[in-house]
Structure 1
Amino acid sequence: MVKSRFVTASAGSGKTFHLTKEVRCHIECDAVFIVAATFTRMAAAEMEKRIIEEVEKGSEIPSEKLRLIMRAAKVHFSTIDALFHQLLSTEEYVPQVADDHERALITAGADEHFFRHPDILADIESVLIAARILNLQPEGLIAALERSKDPLAEWECPDNRIDEFKGRQARIVAGYESLQERVRALAGGTRGALRTQVVDPLLEPIAETDLRKALFTKSGLAEVRVADADRQTPAYAALRDLYPPMRRLIAEHLVNTKRLRSALLKRFSTLRAGLLAEAKQRLGRLYFEDIPRALLALDGPGSHDRPLFMGRLYELGFHRTTHLLLDEFQDTSRIQFDLLRPLLDDILACVGENAEGERSLFLVGDWKQSIYQWRDAAPDHLKACITPALRSGQIAVEPLPHNYRSTPLLIAFFNHLVAELFAGTDEVHAQSPPQEPKHPYSGVSEVAVIPAQCGASDDPAYERLVDAIRQKQADCGCAWGDMAVLCRTNAHTDKVAAALARAGILSSGLHGRELLSLREGTSLYLSLAALFGEHDGRFIPRALSMLGYGEALTSRIARLAETVRSAPRPHRFSTCAAALRDLLPFFPRVLIETLWDEAERYFNTPDAVDAAAFLSYFLKMSRLITVPEGEHADRVKLATIHSTKGLEFPHVFLFWKEGLDRAAEIRHPEDGCPFSLTKSEIAFLASRPMEGSDALVEAAGAVKEENAEETANLLYVAATRAVKSLTILLRADKEGSLKGFSDLMLRAAAGPMSDAERTEFGWRHDYGPEKPQSSEQELLTATDLAGFIDMQVLDDDIDPTLRSADIEAGIERGLRIHAAFAGLTGDRRTIDRGGLDDEEAAAVNRFLRDAKVRELLFRPGTVCTEQHLSDTRMFGIVDRLIISPDRITLIDFKTGRVGHLADKYLPQMLRYRTILERLFGERPVEGYLLFVDEPHRIVTI
């Protein structure tokens, strides 16, 4: 019997470990079908990898390990989206799903056609009128449609509804203007506050009414401060009678304008959705969200048992699922859960009230980390659906109490933060450090919450953040790449990047950079433009020269241009591919491959024309075309909070600015029309100016509460990415005061911390010296040398897909330094500077001045440099080989600060040593890794 559980896994609690452990237990049994569904492909791959590692580390005999590995191979690891994709596929139809990049390109292409659609061109005047009603510039219409597409798609809006709203709008305006005439007739007899606080606001056009004025939150004029003498006038008595109907008309106008706006957006949204559907159909692609919708449509949204969908489960054998494991359960969307529900109910039918049965559910989640409600995650719906099983005992709740990621100091702060963010809820669960942490705590751990006083500009806050980053690097001596700045929005991230750049601090994103933002990317595009562009291109050689490219590239382009001119027209993919292949020696491979992929994608579409059209398309879509960035030890990482879910960083800086509260998106109780209300509009409707306003205010309050919960979750996720230190930079007003969540974070830092030292902005604790590393020599040993002989050894080349401009420069630097060391032959003990620049020459001289390095390099014997070694099975090149009668000395040089990667070079060095031992018989072979930029680090093989 197996127990069904809902594991509540707070940040850093080791949920992947527990998922792996659960699957490991299940594969002990034969004749079971296990499905493990995760939120991301990376998580699915990680869990599958860990299962195999667990089996390999086990104490079972080889035959039993083989059986377990075969059982593990039958476990169905996938994301929920991939699982649904498999269920949607049939023998006749296998939908092709667009990845994020392709999706962005398809959507951008459809949006480009939107304003050229015949319906739009035929009625451009209506579009301009609609834009005015919507209070949007025409070019901002697409962004508004994207924000509201889901609620608009769910709203059934009859074709005549726009005319209905327009007619009502005209009647409201006419009625209000009629009452205004009566107010205008009374205006001459008013003065003081009665004139400025009552008459003047009522005489403004109804569409320009400022609801932030105190007048409109008053239910009657008796609540308005007016001189007693004015209260006795006939004008006051008349205004007192006119105010309630005018206030009612203002409220009706407000709501009707919102509904008219939604109806207009619905019209445009339907047109845009149609264009997008046509583009996807023409290209044979689906978006991920289309898959569950298509499955839901099999039985209709109202079906509970879903017989057709369950038929797909039976066809593919998923009805045999014995154990179902769902990771990141809190991020499951409503539609995903509704599709899985028949299978969940089927499994729970085999589970008793003690949570045990032959089949089981294993749900892992943390309601505090639900930050994807904008992507239709529905935590409240999920809670309501699993509550009956929790209450009946069919699913047991198991909290994970420890945080294995962060230091005890940070864990204590997280507990204070949770108490502030989730006060009054059932999510206030304290974590504790484990008795046996994954790694010993070491170094200084610190938490700081820093308010930055700002006036009209946010610049002081960004400057204060830069100062905090500099101070952290100076105090800890950590690499810039160990620090990550997390922001709420992309706009904040861009401003942080600009502030860091002004301070001379490099930064990099987590998800790549635009290709044309790179010097090499722009140069590659210009090279192709010289070949295929519809202009003479006379400016291009000069532009390439300004970008740092010389005669070699321009000569190659001139020769290629001759070849292109002789090629048959139109120039399509084969010609582009040939040009890219010839340009490969001049540009990083990742750029060539990115252009290659985009060209292949473009020419596979039915709208493709020629290479010149491709370049125009590429330029238009360039903001969506990015190249990956490798790890940069010298660059601060920048990311939005949403993009870092599941990641961790040694030092986290959270930049937080209280945003304007998102307008509460509600549905009208009459027809479900979606619209949003601002804070001042909600306050106005709360004063009950018309019938039905209470229902709107109540709905807005519920939405506002949901938004606040998600913001609290977002802050919790951001803070808990930190491993060693957390610095929160809060944007305060010019007096230094804070409000909202900023105030909660400041209060969390003010709480007492045991075993910690108070600092100006928080707390710190020194856990002792960092993990010690020998300043002399490190020893790498191989327990089973034969096990390394036949393995595929990683060579020194970096995966081309990870190469950035900086990495390419590092490789070139390493080649030049290796060439300089190759000249140290015979009795020569100084290098020929040759092609080394000042920095490289200084690094080499500093390396050669180290006494232990010189002792190894200049041992007596015959010196061979860049020596080729081979036998019948292996081949290699040794940087330096010293052959003497009593021993063989094998030396390999490494450039860059890569000493922490010494284990990576172990198989390579063992390969060399094995060849030498076979060649020199009884003479001992001593191997050494020498790190040019870290002379003190000498690794003995």
Structure 2
Amino acid sequence: MLRVYKASAGSGKTFTLAREYITLVLGTKGEDGRYRLNRSRREMHRSILAITFTNKATEEMKSRIIHELAVIARLEPGWTKESPYSDYLMNLYGCSRDELREAAAKALKDLLFDFNFFHISTIDAFFQVILRTFAREAELTGSYDVELDDKYVIASSVDRLFEDLNHRDDPEARRITAWLKAYMKSLIDEGYSFNIFNRDSELHSGLIQFIDDVSNETFMLNYESMMAYLGDSDRLVEFARELNRIAAANKARTLNACSGAMAAIVAADLDKKKLVTANFVNLLNKWINGGGYHKSGYGKTGENILLDVENAYSAAGKTSSLRTQAIDALIIEAVESMRVIMEENQFVNCVRKNLYTLGLLSRVYSSIDDYRKEHETILLSDTNSILKRIIGDADTPFVYERVGVWFNHFLIDEFQDTSRMQWDNLRPLLNESLATDNDNLVIGDLKQCIYRFRGSDPSLISNVHNDVVGHAEVRGELLADNTNWRSSAEVVRFNNTLFTLMASEMGFSEQYAGVAQLVSSKHSDHHGYVKLSRISGKKVKADSDGSEEYEPRRAALEIMGNEIARELQAGYRPADIAILVRGRKDGVDVIDYLLERGASDPLFREMRIVSDNALLVSRCRSVRLIVSVLRYISSSDFVSSPSRKSRREIARLLNRYEYLLSRGAAPSEALDGAIHSPDSVEELVMEVTDMDCVNLTSIVERIISRYISPDDLARDNIFITAFQDLVADFSDRGAADVSAFLKWWDGAGSKVAVAGAPDGKAITILTIHKAKGLEYKCVHIPFAGLSLESGDIKWFDTVGVFPGIDPAIVPPLIPLSCSSALAETPVRGQYEQYVCENLLDEFNVLYVAFTRAVDELVVTLTDDVGESSINRFLFSAVEKATPDTCVTLEHNAGIDSSRDRHLSPFIPLQMYEGDVLTLGSPCRPSHEEKEMPTAMEPAETIEMTDYYANDRADLWADTRIDSIRDITVARERGIILHDLMSRIRSPRDIARAMRQSTRAGMIPDSEADEILDLITRRVNDPGVSSWFNGFSRLLMERPVITSSDDSQRPDRVVWTADGTIDVIDYKFGIERPARYARQVSRYMSLLRDMYPSTPVRGYIWYLDTGEIVPVK
């Protein structure tokens, strides 16, 4: 049997899924359909597959099942509570507690010793297991990789397609070139940027985004028909010509109609005698001068004339004898032609907008195929279509046998987020299980479907019981089946009332039939607090009359901040509070506000912030420093074009500013250094490239070892490590050069975040989509208004859409921007369906956000009630939530709460003074009994060690056995200590340089302490302080090229703070030949020639004795 549980938010989905898994792993189903305790069969877990939506949910589910089995078996150390499943299982199996405990202990042992067959995974991970089993049938190598970033592959494929055009002269290349030229010419005609080959242009990135947007499941389901159509480029060319013909014919017809009406008006002298309105005459002239088209349309003047032709005439003209039926007919024809062209040509323009990019789709996909083959990889989005091709018509037992496991039971969580193709691949397996009378579970909630943009199909949860063989039991649609175990009474009753009435207002009563929930017994006396504030959405500037400036977002943040301050004072920890936002921009605004408030409010001063944005790798100062150095390296190429050279200089100026800023300089200091000291910064950075082996990972490692301080290595360890992982992953793709990495970094790479550890002193800021499945004691939603118009690219079916065009040349599907421009077009029905789906998705997002709260829910909305805002439905629902309405809702739900109003799941809603709605009273945190830690939780945590970087610049030399230095030999000792000093920029580098030399085997452990003491004393000598601290520029072991191409390499050249250039040559031992001074003199002479206005001084530094000898 299939159990379908339509579980609303907070109703215990995870609890139910874990209970069902434990039921199946501990029991067996008899022929009479009843479960009994399993006393003989072992390894029952091998036959169960539980599917979750995220990796995090997978780990949580595994931990929960192991923990509950351990509790039932009394094997959880220190745990005294009874499992909430025990009584249910004893009643189900008809067994004693001791018998249940013994079975749980056996099952837990089986599961832990056979952990590889503990099948709880995401649907993508499960499909990957099947796909690797069928790699041969899919024409894949057994070691293929899975590329998670589709957009990167698309960008690489587009770039390769364009690059190949420079090296090909075949007919296909000529067709693509001609198509691109036509595309760029059309852009020039419309006044847009046209260079699609410029990788930095919006046009180029727009093409990549378009292909990414349209490469969805709808396209994959129609892939073969679309590729067959696009494979014959002549058909799309003919279709484009037909569209142009229709647009031109409409313009000609409108021009003729408008010219005819104007000619009749002029001939009858109606214009001079002012018998027709000036507005109508102006309207005709605009359309005639526009060649039969005007983008502003026909306005109110045209609308009124279509209602009644008399509106084209003045008061005198309406009764004038000069007015005739013929003229009336010409006027009506002219305005009607305007209406027709506005509708038809607007649709034609919508179609033509994406026609050229559609024509490139098959070529880009061909290039993507080449990428797959060359890199032996598939896109993650390929998985479903490949499996559909393999499994679709296959014998299901054969599929199981090839996988190596026979699944009898399927437990599917978050089913509303499953896509159509995923369900098509999964359904044969589920049907096989049902055909053998096995029990299965599907859990989902249509109200929480917020991932349609990823291909999820919420209609599946409504129809799943009709899609499978055998009996299906549906629960969760009746109020009696739906109890909220998460939220306080006020939060539950508020959401019940609000979303029931909003669903009725929006036409989603069927989808939200089970939205009302009962308050759980444990929360019957747990009262919460709801506050909904309505603020003005209009900005007000400060005026001379003393009126204050008003900004809606700031007002919303102030309300949020004051409520958070109250909660902190009441005893809530920052970790109990979550702020939910819709997008990254909202999150940044919230973070900036909290940091600003922390500067003046002690309550916020010590509070930390955990958010996706705060934990972005790209926000780390050390990572920004690494990236800025990489930008210097990438921008060092020679450029001859004056315009490009100018842009390059601007870019380098910005790079210098970013570099200095990331080094800790204040913005003003960084700007001054970027403008006035470019050479010092660039010389410093370009030391990175002085390596024998220059690849991306080596360069980054050298940057880390040379420029990141020990303090920063300790503080930013997690971010630096994550960045190096990203570099390594990128290098595995093959295109591991600096410029390619920076392009990827500026796109997808900079958006990667690291996972934050739990922190009791940190408030959480996250998007509503990330909050799904989570709960917090106090939830704040400062920007609750949601826009209803998406503008996303959608695929539209063309059947019956182009009646005047030969169907053979019409594409099976066309991509259109889903905007109001399609409202009065031949695709109106499909457009309205998309609008309805978008409206439902936004409503679901609101539902998910409002149902995360346990104790308190604080929401702020603007008073915007326009067509593009969901707020109008919310405010309307609040107005209708009267006591009488609540009685009606109770009656519809079959509830009689006349004896005790507190039993009602509904509650009247009222905005006090029109701006604030409150339910309940502000809360204080309850002192709940602290749960014992489980065996799955770590007993202690260990701090990560500081990031250790080794740039391996001399790795090759140090691994040559025949060239190992002997420090006991005076000359060898000098070379080793020279190398050691070349690693020291400042005193803080001594320990790291010593560690590197020791680990490389250059300095024996027996000599390390003595050398460390010597170097530390010398570098910290006050007499050489200017050489190691406060300098403006430093060169170490850098060659100086003379006019005769000879190369001189001074040990250390320092631009000191007093404005001189000091040349230092290190010497070791007791010998002091005259050639030492001559050598330094040559260095000084070269530098004086290069910097004639700067004093140059030279010194020989005998480090063994500490003596410094000036050279004249």
TM-score above 0.5, yes or no: yes
Tell me, in whole angstroms, the C-alpha distance in 2 between the residues paired with 1:538 and 1:331: 46
Question: Counterpart amino acid of 1:335?
Answer: M
Q: What is the CA–CA distance in structure 2 between the aligned matches of 1:683 and 1:130, rounded to whole Å?
A: 26
2:465 to 379, 386, 392: 386
Look up the SS of the partner of 2:518 in the other structure.
Answer: coil
User: 279, 283, 290: which one pairs with 2:382?
Assistant: 290
SS class of match (1:395) = strand
2:844 matched to 1:745? Answer: no
Choose which of 57, 65, 70 in structure 1 pairs with 2:71: 57
- Provide the residue aligned with 2:813 in structure 1: 673
2:518 counterpart residue number: 432
Once residues 642 and 792 of structure 1 are traced to their aligned partners in structure 2, the CA distance between those partners, rounded to angstroms, is 29
1:95 shift after superposition: 6.1
Aligned to 1:476: 567
Decide whether aligned partners of structure 1 residues 704 and 522 sit closer, same or farther in structure 2, where only a CA change above 3 A counts. closer
- From the superposition, tell whether residues 758 and 123 of structure 1 become closer, same or farther in structure 2 (CA, over 3 Å): closer
Which whole-Å CA distance do the structure 1 matches of 2:749 and 2:414 have between them? 34
Alpha carbons of structure 1 residues 513 and 273: separation in structure 2 relative to 1, 3 Å: farther
1:128 corresponds to which of 184, 192, 195: 184
Q: 1:230 to 1:282 in 2, by over 3 A?
A: farther
Deviations 1:297-330 (A, max 9, x none): 236xxx6xx1167633331245x32211111111
CA distance in 1, matches of 2:381, 2:550: 39
Deviation, structure 1 residue 650: 2.6
Alpha-carbon distance change, 512 to 117 in structure 1, aligned in 2, over 3 angstroms: farther
Alignment of 1:497-896 (within 5 A): 497=591, 508-510=610-612, 513-526=615-628, 534=636, 546-547=664-665, 567-571=691-695, 573-574=697-698, 576-577=700-701, 580=704, 583=708, 585=710, 586-587=712-713, 588-609=716-737, 618=745, 622-631=749-758, 636-654=763-781, 655-659=783-787, 661-663=789-791, 665=794, 666-670=796-800, 671=810, 672-676=812-816, 681-685=821-825, 693=826, 696-733=827-864, 741-749=870-878, 751=881, 760=912, 761-766=916-921, 769-772=924-927, 793-795=939-941, 797=943
User: In the alignment, residue 425 of structure 1 is paired with which amino acid?
Assistant: E
Q: Is the 8 A contact 2:629 2:685 kept in 1?
A: no
CA 1:511–1:82 in 2, change beyond 3 Å: closer, same or farther?
A: farther
1:238-387 alignment, distance < 5 Å: 238-244=330-336, 247-298=339-390, 306-307=393-394, 311-318=398-405, 320-350=406-436, 358-387=437-466
Pick aligned residue for 2:473 from 395, 399, 406: 395
- What is the CA-CA distance between 1:26 and the residue it aligns to? 0.4
Aligned-partner Cα distance in 1 for 2:945–2:70? 27
Give the distance between the partners of 2:336 and 2:859, measured in 1 at CA. Answer: 49
Amino acid at match of 1:149: S
Contact 1:507 1:636 in 2 (8 A): yes
Which region of structure 1 is more displaced relative to structure 2, 59-68 or 583-592?
A: 59-68
From 8, 11, 20, give the equivalent of 2:9.
Answer: 11
Shift of 1:133: 8.6
Please show how residues 57-76 of structure 1 align to structure 2 within 5 Å. 57-59=71-73, 60=98, 64-72=103-111, 73=115, 74-76=117-119
Deviation digits for residues 534-576 of structure 1, max 9, x if unmatched? Answer: 59999899656544899xxxxxx99999996774233454564
SS in 1 for 2:120: strand
Report whether the alignment pairs 1:209 with 2:300: no
Cα distance, 1:172 vs structure 2: 2.9
Q: Secondary structure at the match of 1:321?
A: coil
For 2:723 and 2:142, locate their aligned partners in 1 and report how far apart those are by CA, in whole Å: 28
Aligned-residue offset at 1:464:
1.6
Q: Does 1:405 align with 2:454?
A: no
CA distance in 1, matches of 2:157, 2:109: 47
Alpha-carbon displacement from aligned partner over 1:807-863 (angstroms, at most 9, x marks no partner): xxxxxxxxxxxxxxxxxxxxxxxxxxxxxxxxxxxxxxxxxxxxxxxxxxxxxxxxx
> Is the Cα contact below 8 Å between 2:779 and 2:852 reproduced in 1?
yes
Q: Matched residues in 2 for 1:562 and 1:681: separation?
A: 54
Query: Equivalent residue of 1:763, what SS?
Result: strand
Separation of aligned partners in 2, 1:219 and 1:165: 35
> Unaligned 5+ residue runs, structure 2?
28-40, 74-97, 166-172, 194-202, 542-548, 599-603, 638-651, 670-680, 801-809, 884-900, 948-1112
Report if the CA contact (8 A) 2:6-2:444 is conserved: yes
- CA shift for structure 1 position 269: 3.0
SS of the residue 1:307 aligns to: coil
Change (3 A) 1:728 1:349: same
Partner of 1:37: 51
Contact kept? 1:461, 1:730, Cα under 8 Å: no
Alignment of 1:412-427 (within 5 A): 412-423=493-504, 424-425=509-510, 427=512
**TM-score normalised to structure 1 length:** 0.70
Q: Provide the secondary structure at the position in 2 that maps to 1:427.
A: coil
In structure 1, the residue matched to 2:235 is 161
| Kept in 1: contact 2:788–2:868 (CA 8 A) | no
Matching of residue 453 in structure 1 with residue 453 in structure 2: no
In structure 2, relative to structure 1, the CA distance for the partners of 1:395 and 1:269 (3 Å cut) is same
* Distance (whole Å) between structure 2 residues aligned to residue 539 and residue 683 of structure 1: 49
How far is the alpha carbon of 1:614 from its aligned partner?
5.4
In the alignment, is the contact (CA less than 8 A) between 2:260 and 2:330 conserved in 1? no
Larger Rg: 2
- How far 1:797 sits from its partner (Å)? 2.4
Please name the residue that 1:804 is paired with.
Answer: none
Residues in 2 aligned to 1:679 and 1:209: alpha-carbon distance in whole angstroms: 17
Q: Which residue of 2 aligns with 1:826?
A: none
Aligned residue type for 2:733: T
The answer to whether the Cα contact below 8 Å between 1:176 and 1:246 also exists between their aligned partners in 2 is no
Structure 1 residue 766: Cα displacement: 3.8
Counterpart of 1:195 in structure 2 is 280
Deviation at 1:375, TM superposition (A): 1.4
**Contact 1:5–1:398 (CA under 8 A) maintained in structure 2:** no
Instruction: Give the letter for the 1:183 counterpart.
Output: C
TM-score (norm 2): 0.60
**8 Å CA contact 1:658, 1:731 repeated in 2:** no
Q: C-alpha displacement at 1:406, in angstroms?
A: 1.4
User: Contact 1:98–1:286 at 8 Å: present in 2 too?
Assistant: yes
The alignment partner of 1:762 has SS state of: strand
Deviations 1:70-120 (A, max 9, x none): 4544442111111111111137644655465x5554455445556656267
Q: What code does the residue aligned with 1:315 have?
A: R
Q: How far apart are the structure 1 equivalents of 2:439 and 2:161? A: 49
Q: CA deviation at 1:199?
A: 2.6
Q: CA deviation at 1:159?
A: 1.8
Q: 1:275-315 CA distances to partner (integer Å, 9 max, x unpaired)? A: 4443344333333221111111236xxx6xx1167633331
Structure 1 runs not aligned, ≥5 long: 351-357, 551-556, 686-692, 802-941
Partner in structure 2 of residue 79 of structure 1: 122
Secondary structure of 1:647 counterpart: coil
C-alpha distance 673-531 of structure 1, shift in aligned 2 (>3 A): closer
Which residue in 1 is equivalent to 2:36?
Answer: none
Deviation at 1:730, TM superposition (A): 1.8
Which letter does structure 2 place at the counterpart of 1:360?
A: D
Deviation of 1:726 after TM superposition, in Å, equals 1.9
8 Å CA contact 2:13, 2:443 repeated in 1: yes
Asked if structure 2 preserves the Cα contact closer than 8 Å seen for 1:410 and 1:447, the reply is no
Give the CA deviation at 1:127.
3.1
Contact 1:206-1:250 at 8 Å conserved across structures:
no
The counterpart of 2:582, out of the listed 488, 501, 507, is 488
